[in-house]
Amino acid sequence: MKNTIKIALAANEISVADISANLKAITDIIKESAENGANAVVFPELSVTGYFCGDLFLNSKLTDVWADALNEIAEVTFDSSVTAFIGLPINIDGSLYDCVAVVNKGELLGFAPKRNLSYAEKRIFVSDNDPAIVFETDDAVYGVAIGDDILDTYYCRKLKEAGATVIVNPYASAMTATFESEKKAQVRYLSETLGLTVLSVGASPTESTTDTVFADYMLAIKNGEIIAEQKALTNGGICYAEFEPTVTKGKNIEKPSLLENVDKNPFIPEGITDDYFESCLKIQSYGLMKRMTAAHAKTAVLGISGGLDSTLALLATVRTFDMMCKDRKDIICVTMPCFGTTKRTKSNAIKICEELGVDIREINIGKAVLQHFEDIGHDPSVTDVTYENSQARERTQILMDLSNRYNGLVIGTGDMSELALGWATYNGDHMSMYGLNASITKTLVRALVDYEARRLGGAIADILIDVIGTPVSPELLPADNDGKIAQKTEDLVGPYELHDFFLYHFIKEHRSPKEIYFLACSVFENEYKSETILKWLKTFIRRFFISQFKRSCVPDGPRVTDVSLSPRGSFSMPSDASFAFFMKELDEI
């Protein structure tokens, strides 16, 4: 074996379910890495098909062509010194495996199946518990740990005992604002514990963005020391790592504790830097870019209110258009004043659009809504839910029809806090073609707008700061006598900082209502009385349960944080689940 080897980590561009296009990208990278002197090239999990094919994996068109695909790769490696690690589904006797195929000098050395499958993956794939298999080449002895197999220290130790000097870790994981630091800690822990080299490469963000943007983070760590690293969402490409594939004794490292100090705002963890906010905005932008490209959309259509959510959605959309070198004038922003619109929000909406150089249009919906009231026999002096929701649905109709007229996508602006509380009009602001803020809480929205204000500076920064200071409101009820916002959301459903805290610990930490209550009382003891916390926690539990039907049919949108309420795998709950059992625990406090 050679003393020093060079490994290429490569996140190939993915066309989901298009094997021909993906093979072309893979073989091109193999040729390029060979020309650059690489001994091996590692591709992401299921790189031949794309990871996010869902039930398409059950179709023989995708699963019966693996032999032909490997023959094509073998031809490329025949006259090459490159060993290729290729992710693809393998159908054996009617059982489908998520595998990595190892091809060396035109020959298939074998397959390494994935062992630790997620709940969603088990619907499609079969797990494998055969003994650890290693692959020996002229350069090194390789073990393969796909996806979360890298967290299975027992299995990885068996790979080392079988002779592995290098463990490759192809994966396909959702990019979140904290993903890179978490992945780095996992890989470093394994590398340092076992005393060998671990190579990780994730799926390209050109993967499906139905509910996630995939993290193409590339990392090579030897004995706990980083030898190569390429940040996620930096346009992929190839990352090279050079090292001696030697094995040391390893260290008895204490595994990082999962228990951390409880943050008052878990979606803006204490000690974060602006890199965290930049990652959030990048995930949004890459997700929208993929969706715009896949839909062949020319324009993006947004309802702009002068509030926090639509402002953040616009800022992320502008970033996307700049990345795609598209004219900002193809971002069509529509302000639609009606009975509750105040001068402050309308003015801010228009000013932001003018500063960003997008297309801004004003459509007053008052006449249309009054006509609708007449059509359905509603008295406009009765400011009930019909009065409010008619406005929201009229606005959505306008945006949808404009998107049809201008070959565009309606960009959803509602945030995850609203989604959790059901604070959206069904088939009104509840609906869009891509929900850009779907996994961003209200507290994080505010922080991201503040970050953009600091980053952009100038006149727009002053406007953004005023948006941050504006009370959160849907503005569906008439303003007060002074022309100011009368309908303040947090007066009606409670403080968002509390609800975001409740949401995180209920969904991410799976805590009981009583545990959340006592935790919140401790964290917010200087801000809220215990009875106030109990009141709003009861509101959260009740509204969260009764609003599941809205979340069961939300549009696609990128996962940005560690929490997502998407019904497509991130969070599963029946729409008719009862909150009584959960509420009883709080009633007994």
Same domain, 366 and 422: yes
Side-chain half-sphere exposure of 391, counting CA atoms within 13 A: 25
Same domain, 124 and 237: yes
Task: Give the count of domains, the chain.
Answer: 2
Distance from C-alpha of 119 to C-alpha of 424, rounded to nearest angstrom = 30
Distance from C-alpha of 114 to C-alpha of 148, rounded to nearest angstrom = 9
Same domain, 11 and 143: yes
Amino acid at 30: I
Same domain, 20 and 142: yes
CATH of the domain at 29: 3.60.110.10
* Full pLDDT tens readout for the chain, 589 residues: 568 999 999 999 999 999 999 999 999 999 999 999 999 999 999 999 999 898 999 888 888 888 899 999 999 998 888 999 999 999 988 899 999 999 999 999 999 999 999 988 999 999 987 788 999 999 999 999 999 999 999 999 999 999 999 999 999 999 999 999 999 999 999 999 999 999 999 999 999 888 999 999 999 999 999 999 999 998 768 999 999 998 888 776 555 443 346 899 999 988 899 999 999 999 999 999 999 999 999 999 999 999 999 999 999 999 999 999 999 999 999 999 999 999 999 999 999 999 999 999 999 999 999 999 999 999 999 999 999 999 999 999 999 999 999 999 999 999 999 999 999 999 999 999 999 999 999 999 999 999 999 999 999 999 999 999 998 888 778 888 878 887 888 888 999 999 999 999 999 999 999 999 999 999 999 999 999 999 999 999 999 999 999 999 999 999 999 999 999 877 889 999 999 999 999 999 8
Final residue belonging to a domain, choices 227, 243, 259: 243
Distance from C-alpha of 189 to C-alpha of 196, rounded to nearest angstrom = 11
Q: Give a yes or no: residue 254 inside a domain.
A: no
Same domain, 232 and 354: no
Expressed as residue numbers, the domain containing 186 is 5-243
Side-chain half-sphere exposure of 333, counting CA atoms within 13 A: 29
CATH of the domain at 310: 3.40.50.620
Same domain, 148 and 9: yes
Q: Give a yes or no: residue 253 inside a domain.
A: no
Same domain, 163 and 311: no
Please state the pTM of the whole predicted model: 0.90
Q: Give a yes or no: residue 139 inside a domain.
A: yes
Q: Give a yes or no: residue 264 inside a domain.
A: no
Pairing of the two strands 134-136 and 141-144 = antiparallel
Q: Which residues contact 242 (CB under 8 A, 6 or more apart)?
A: 4, 5, 6, 7, 227, 228
